[in-house]
Each structure stands twice: as structure tokens, then as C-alpha cells.
Amino acid sequence: MDEMNLTKMKRLEIIKYSKNFDRAQSLGLNSLIFLALREQTSVAHQYEECGFQDIPEELIAGCDALENDELLDLAGEITFHLLGEKITAAVEDENAQYLAAQAIHDQNQPTLLSDY
């Protein structure tokens, strides 16, 4: 297997693992990635600086094995996952409100003869 496929697998493994993160962990990992890219340091260095102990060190090491563009892609995919969760929650909330309103305003339903 060539270098590119090995790196891609590592990135995919990191993405798969990070989907089990809570919101704070996902935001923390993304913060570390963006800080490392901005400051031209390693993700591990930012990890030590920020002290986000709720992110596994193996994941940090995996991030440092990626090239800068792949690291940016990873951060983008984590962000996409966060946005997907936010949109799903908004749609679920909107559907719940619609169903509650429908139950309250039930007069649009035709009456049955058995109701009399």
C-alpha cells in the first residue's frame, strides 16, 4: 500500500474515532488542529499548551502523522460532523414543535359519526 493510502486510512480512523466525541472534545480537537496550523507547530505541542486531557494522546499522535492539507481536511470533516449534529437537532426540535401544535389544534380533523 502506498504512503497516500496509509495516510488516508489514518485520517479515516481518526474521523471514525472522533465521531464518538462529545461536542467539547470535537471542538477541542479542532482548536488544537487550527492552532497547530496557524502557529506552524505540532498538534502535540498545542495539546501540551492547552491541556485538553479529554482527548486521547493516540489521536494527537495520529494527527501529527498527517500532512498540513490532510490535517485541514480532518478539521473540516470534524466541523461538518458538528454542523450535521446541529442541523439534526434543529430539525428534530422543529418536528417536535409541529407535532405538539398539531395535537393542540386538532380541529382540522374531520369528526366521526361515532363521536356524537
What does the domain layout of the chain look like in residue ranges? 3-102
Predicted structure pTM score: 0.70
Cα distance between residue 94 and residue 65, in whole Å:
42
Cα distance between residue 85 and residue 76, in whole Å:
14
* Virtual torsion, Cα 16, 17, 22, 26, nearest 10 deg: -80
Q: Which helix (H) or strand (E) holds 25?
A: helix 23-39
| Residue whose C-alpha cell reads 398539531 in the numeric block | 102
Q: Which cell numbers hold the place of 54?
A: 479529554
Cα distance between residue 52 and residue 9, in whole Å:
25
Q: Which residue has the higher pLDDT, 108 or 20?
A: 20
pLDDT (0 to 100) of residue 114 = 65
pLDDT (0 to 100) of residue 69 = 94
Q: Are 3 and 11 in contact (CB under 8 A)?
A: no
Q: Which residue has the higher pLDDT, 6 or 109?
A: 109
Q: Which residue has the higher pLDDT, 82 or 89?
A: 82
